Structure 1
């Protein structure tokens, strides 16, 4: 008669329990708000957690949100930027860029290999991003999008500025280096939102430091960037209708009463300088500011 197999008690007891029920029951989901918190691992590393209706999303506080380091770089964006910088500095579009010694790793279906050489014309960029590489950039940018929304809820404005500035670099890279037009335009519609969130974080950071003048300056720069964006896509009429512009205008109106009286004189000076320089767009913004300050 064969012996009954012995239960692997100690080894089984040491295994991690994959059931999340206890975690989920300890942190209830609240509809209509971003449920976010900072947690600390046993080794002291901090992570962001977002409570969703069906689970918990965890992201690294710094670096790439999923904690990966493609080819040793902080992100795929940084990796691509290094290849493009190298090609523009040394190759000048005259030949293909050598593949790094490290074996390329997979990012979904997009191998992390140098962008294609584009030596057909001296005026062209030396490299072009394939469709697969553009998809990898977009997917990575979504991770940073989720993180900067959570960071804004935590009022970590410095990191919101970092992540939104970083995602604007993604949009610039796709616009300048994507091989196909559809990839150039695939996320162009998100520029208004990223620009607004960055300006909002800059203004909030300035207000936390009790600098209303700097806060309004950040908002003005954000609205000017939004105006340029809508002009560049041939839809200037969308500027006033934009929800992003309305958010920044609302912030600005709330800040105006907090400005010192001397601010009015400085605004008049800036308005005069803008008119002399024929920067009528800025002059219009400054004139609106002056009119909104109570006497």
Structure 2
């Protein structure tokens, strides 16, 4: 078997209407996401870590650190004293970026179940760093992304609900997320004008309108 991906690219580019992101079945029988980029193709696993690795035998670094936290609690009866150093946080941030690229791809192909899963997973990573990072800058490093990830997670939930005919559940999820994001902004001392200009809130309100129109239509 040739290592040259040229024929795959040529076949993909034959169709002028082909999307830049697609889902395939790999030789291992598992689903993969492929993204057509200028210089070739990027490929990610659909489940587990996007790069297919299992650090420390776990599904992800996040799961590894959560396991360490559980072991610490069992040994000491408390989480007091459990810390993530800057290297730990850097690794978690790098891993979260992998999941970011994947959940964006899932949105493109309307795989909202996996998009909801990956966004929820990144929020758990943010929570872990915020609570246990040794350094304040590491603890807060991902907080600026929290409203965005909440928004994306909620859109995925809402689309899942709407696709199953649960329009009330979809609207409720969006309204709850709007309140959560506003609370986040106020807790972090954003002024009301800045809150009113939030892209995340605007997108959620537009999504709610879209779902209401689908419901009423």
Following superposition of structure 1 onto structure 2, how do residues 77-226 of structure 1 map, counting pairs within 5 Å?
77-92=62-77, 125-226=80-181
- Aligned partners of 2:39, 2:32: CA distance in 1, in Å? 19
- Shift in Å, 1:34: 7.2
TM-score, structure 2 as length reference? 0.90
The residue aligned with 1:227 is: 182
Q: Is the partner of 2:13 in helix, strand or coil?
A: coil
Give the number of aligned pairs. Answer: 213
- Shift in Å, 1:50: 1.1
Q: Which has the higher contact order (CA 8 A, sep 6+)?
A: 2
Unaligned runs of 5+ in 1: 1-15, 94-123, 261-295
- Aligned partners of 1:44, 1:182: CA distance in 2, in Å? 42
Does residue 240 (structure 1) correspond to residue 196 (structure 2)? The answer is yes
* CA deviation string 1:146-205 (max 9, x = no partner): 111111112111111111100000111111111111111222111111100011001101
- Aligned partners of 1:216, 1:203: CA distance in 2, in Å? 7
8 Å contact from structure 1 (residues 128, 179) kept in 2: yes
User: Which of 71, 91, 97 is the aligned partner of 2:56?
Assistant: 71
8 Å contact from structure 1 (residues 34, 150) kept in 2: no
* CA deviation string 1:246-290 (max 9, x = no partner): 001011123334557xxxxxxxxxxxxxxxxxxxxxxxxxxxxxx
- Shift in Å, 1:71: 1.1
- Shift in Å, 1:35: 1.7
8 Å contact from structure 1 (residues 34, 153) kept in 2: no
Q: What is the root-mean-square deviation of aligned Cα atoms in Å?
A: 2.2
- Aligned partners of 2:144, 2:89: CA distance in 1, in Å? 16
- Shift in Å, 1:231: 1.8
Q: Is the partner of 1:26 in helix, strand or coil?
A: helix
Q: Is the partner of 1:62 in helix, strand or coil?
A: coil
* Structure number with larger C-alpha Rg: 1
Does residue 18 (structure 1) correspond to residue 3 (structure 2)? The answer is yes
The residue aligned with 1:41 is: 26
